[in-house]
């Protein structure tokens, strides 16, 4: 059997990966499967998904297929370095199956089973001044509650240094609309809790956090990443 191989582009910046996922869901990709795979298996894995789902068709080919009533698929890959696992998500639009392949994947709908990644979840969100909802990222309930509890305990136990670390970590979060709303709540919480139980001067809280604007693709081809991993440079 001929060995499958492909050299896909792999995103290396977390916020870019998150933005690309929300872009596709916003464009109507309403089914997904999600997972991780060792970086040294990504080539075969990507080629197999392209064979079965046309996951790397260019925009023109995908558009023509959708006009014929076939579904389009896209495979997004994320590798942060420092570990051997690559995160992947395969998304599919409505339509007839794009190939003769009928897999056993358990497809999920992002409106019914939210896409979660790195402590964040993709949700519908209505921005101030808008009447229609859009897709954005926010902390999962679990992650939000963990951060909230850590803030309260740090203040009540007078662990100011730990609180400063939390503030730095939280305000470095990707500035998606949903995250910014939660961070504003954290700011109010810190000020209120410090007034009740804090000692000394309250740590400096940033006035706000930056927006995630349109981000350019940032990443590398798999072949280059594999060389860097092999050389210990990634």
Q: What is the pLDDT along the chain (234 residues), one digit of tens a residue?
A: 345 578 999 999 999 999 999 999 999 999 999 999 999 999 999 999 998 888 999 889 888 989 999 899 999 999 998 778 999 999 999 988 877 776 678 899 999 999 999 999 999 987 766 667 889 999 999 999 999 999 999 999 999 999 999 999 999 999 999 999 999 999 999 999 999 998 899 999 998 888 889 999 999 999 999 999 888 776
Q: What is the pLDDT of residue 1?
A: 35
Q: Please calculate the CA angle 50-52-55 and round it to the nearest 5 degrees.
A: 30
The answer to whether the Cα torsion of 188, 193, 194, 196 is positive or negative is positive
Q: What is the pLDDT of residue 182?
A: 96
Q: Compute the distance between CA of residue 191 and CA of residue 168 in angstroms, rounded to an integer.
A: 15
Q: Which residues contact 182 (CB under 8 A, 6 or more apart)?
A: 138, 139, 144
Query: Please, which contacts does 134-138 make with residues 24 or more away whose CB atoms are closer than 8 Å?
Result: 134/26, 134/177, 135/22, 135/25, 135/26, 136/22, 136/176, 136/177, 136/178, 136/179, 137/18, 137/22, 137/174, 137/176, 137/178, 137/179, 138/176, 138/178, 138/179, 138/181, 138/182
**How many residues are present in the chain?**
234
Are residues 33 and 104 in contact, defined by beta-carbon separation less than 8 angstroms? no
Q: Compute the distance between CA of residue 175 and CA of residue 182 in angstroms, rounded to an integer.
A: 10
Q: What is the pLDDT of residue 153?
A: 97
Structural tokens at position 179: 């995250």
Q: What is the pLDDT of residue 82?
A: 79
Q: What is the pLDDT of residue 160?
A: 95
Look up the pTM and report it.
0.91
Q: What is the pLDDT of residue 194?
A: 96
């Amino acid at each position: 059997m001929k060995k499958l191989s492909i050299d896909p582009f792999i995103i290396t910046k977390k916020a870019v990966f998150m933005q690309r996922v929300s872009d596709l869901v916003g464009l109507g990709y309403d089914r997904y499967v999600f997972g991780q795979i060792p970086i040294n298996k990504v080539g075969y894995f990507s080629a197999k998904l392209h064979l079965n789902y046309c996951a790397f068709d260019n925009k023109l080919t995908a558009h023509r297929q959708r006009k014929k009533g076939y579904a389009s698929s896209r495979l997004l890959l994320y590798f942060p370095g420092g570990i051997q696992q690559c995160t992947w998500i395969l998304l599919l639009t409505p339509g007839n199956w794009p190939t003769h392949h009928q897999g056993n994947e358990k497809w999920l709908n992002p409106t019914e089973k939210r896409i979660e990644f790195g402590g964040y979840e993709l949700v519908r969100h209505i921005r101030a001044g808008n009447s229609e909802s859009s897709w954005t990222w926010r902390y999962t309930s679990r992650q939000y509650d963990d951060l909230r509890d850590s803030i309260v305990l740090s203040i009540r136990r007078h662990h100011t240094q730990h609180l400063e670390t939390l503030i730095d970590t939280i305000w470095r979060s990707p500035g998606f609309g949903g995250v910014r709303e939660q961070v504003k709540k954290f700011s109010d919480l810190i000020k209120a809790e410090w007034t009740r139980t804090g000692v000394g001067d309250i740590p400096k809280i940033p006035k706000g956090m930056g927006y995630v604007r349109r981000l350019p693709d940032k990443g590398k081809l798999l072949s280059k990443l594999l060389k860097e991993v092999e050389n210990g440079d990634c």
